[in-house]
Amino acid sequence: MPTDFDWITDRRGTWSLKWDRAERTLGVPDVIPMWVADMDFPSPPAVVEALTRRAAHGIFGYPMTPPSFRQTVIRWLGTRFGWAVERDWLLKAPGVVPSLSFCIRALTRPGEGIVVQPPVYFPFFGAVEQNGRRLVRNPLAFRSGRFEMDFDDLERKIDGGTRMLILCSPHNPVGRVWTKAELERLGAVARERDLIVVSDEIHAELHYRGHRHIPTASVSDDLAGRTVTLFAPSKTFNLAGLTTSLIVAGETNLRDRIAAEIRSAGFEIGNLFGLLALETAYAHGGEWLDELLVYLEGNIDFLERFTAERLPKLAFIRPEGTTLGLLDCRKLGLAPEALHDFFLKKAKVYFSPGEVFGDELQGFERINFGCPRPLLREALERIERAVDALGKTEKPR
Ligand SMILES: Cc1ncc(COP(=O)(O)O)c(C=O)c1O
């Protein structure tokens, strides 16, 4: 039976960071939350059933994955991306954010430079700096309404002490799905300057018409040897709360060093429910995902149309992938904090402020459109009313 993605499931009071934070922490009730990147859809029925069955068993001791676990992951990566991965290349990990730290600690030394491409998922900054490494910023260029890598700046910024580049692919928050040509060019720089590439591909399956995610490690033999890929079902199948992910490293030396770091952090066994959900999603979630992608693309079309027709002071930057888009709100003329406050307190819609991803996004807000369309419509209508009211309070010049 096709999934009814229009159905609204009440998430309030379910220990949901997304739904309960505005009221409990910020003291603003009745807000539609469209910030943190989880979706308001139940996971695929096969996953819910597998977890329910397992929960009913009642004994939750240490898990040991069956042989089918790795086979399922390999089949998923092969069929979805044409990427041939071997059993030994896979390491189990908790969230992708902890894996960033595992890679940084295992593969670089304190003080060494690590390149990130802001505006970008902000925990990249913390992972570098909190581990005592040097943050090298290679900002994306905003050209004709589209973000692109700035290769000239990248070449200039890399010095003898730069060891690693953390790539976000697809890119949160700008929504780019990097093309083969872009990845090849990045690969050429990595090769020339001998950089390790950590490729965060947590949004890999979420790409839309005309765009196709290409795993960085699949682009060339050289990139396969210097790339560590961080992968998870968390975004795609809405499983982030189960904090289970994978690290894929084809190069033995890199993999062994990361595995030692994971062991030293005491993380080896994993979460029973997270592992079961991961295998079930990759084994049985494909059809659900294909339906989801059509629905999400409908949300993007809706957002684009609504913004163009009814919110002339806002511009929506159409994403090529992820459930995240950017609203360019600079025409509202509000300072960053006032802008965020306006959406939260006047429109009662909770976005992620652009500048948390980098100063490049001052005047922008990130919208998570991974929700039923009626909710998206309600949020946009709230914004329309608030912008109209703002116009009426403006003093005549
Ligand atoms: C690019 C990116 N990496 C990592 C994460 C979080 O990963 P995890 O919850 O597995 O730590 C997110 C969540 O939004 C993300 O967008």
pLDDT in tens, 308-347: 999 999 999 999 999 999 999 999 999 988 999 999 999 9
* DSSP state string for 219-288: S-HHHHHHEEEEE-STTTTT-GGG--EEEEE-SHHHHHHHHHHHHHTT--S--HHHHHHHHHHHHH-HHH
9, 131, 138, 221, 296 from 376: Cα distances, Å: 14, 39, 33, 43, 11
Atom number of ligand 1 nearest to Cα 98: 11
Candidate from 97, 103, 357 with most ligand 1 atoms within 8 A of CB, to mutate? 97
Strands across the sheet containing 134-137: 90-93, 245-249, 227-231, 196-200, 162-168, 113-116, 134-137
- Cα 122 to middle of ligand 1, angstroms: 10
Atom number of ligand 1 nearest to Cα 121: 1
Atom number of ligand 1 nearest to Cα 171: 1
Q: What local confidence, expressed as pLDDT, does residue 395 receive? A: 53
- What would the pLDDT profile of 193-248 be if each residue is shown by its tens digit? 999 999 999 999 999 999 999 999 999 999 999 999 999 999 999 999 999 999 99
Atom number of ligand 1 nearest to Cα 97: 11
- Cα 4 to middle of ligand 1, angstroms: 26
Task: Look at ligand 1, atom 14, and give the residue with the nearest C-alpha.
Answer: 37
Report residue 394's pLDDT band, with 50, 70 and 90 as the boundaries: low
- Cα 136 to middle of ligand 1, angstroms: 20
Q: What local confidence, expressed as pLDDT, does residue 397 receive? A: 47
CB-based burial label for 349 (10 Å; 0-12, 13-18, 19+): buried
Report residue 268's pLDDT band, with 50, 70 and 90 as the boundaries: confident
Percent share of the chain, pLDDT over 70: 99
Task: Look at ligand 1, atom 13, and give the residue with the nearest C-alpha.
Answer: 37
Report residue 23's pLDDT band, with 50, 70 and 90 as the boundaries: confident
- What would the pLDDT profile of 119-147 be if each residue is shown by its tens digit? 999 999 999 999 999 999 999 999 988 99
Q: Ligand 1: list residues with CB < 6 Å.
A: 37, 95-97, 121, 168, 172, 200, 202, 232, 234, 240, 245
- Cα 372 to middle of ligand 1, angstroms: 22
- Strand pairing partners for 164? 114, 196
Sign of CA dihedral 31, 243, 236, 228: positive
CB-based burial label for 241 (10 Å; 0-12, 13-18, 19+): middle
- Cα 387 to middle of ligand 1, angstroms: 32
Q: Is the peptide bond before 119 cis (omega within 30 degrees of 0)?
A: yes
- Cα 226 to middle of ligand 1, angstroms: 22
Atom number of ligand 1 nearest to Cα 243: 10
| Token code pair at residue 126 | 């913390």
- Cα 11 to middle of ligand 1, angstroms: 20
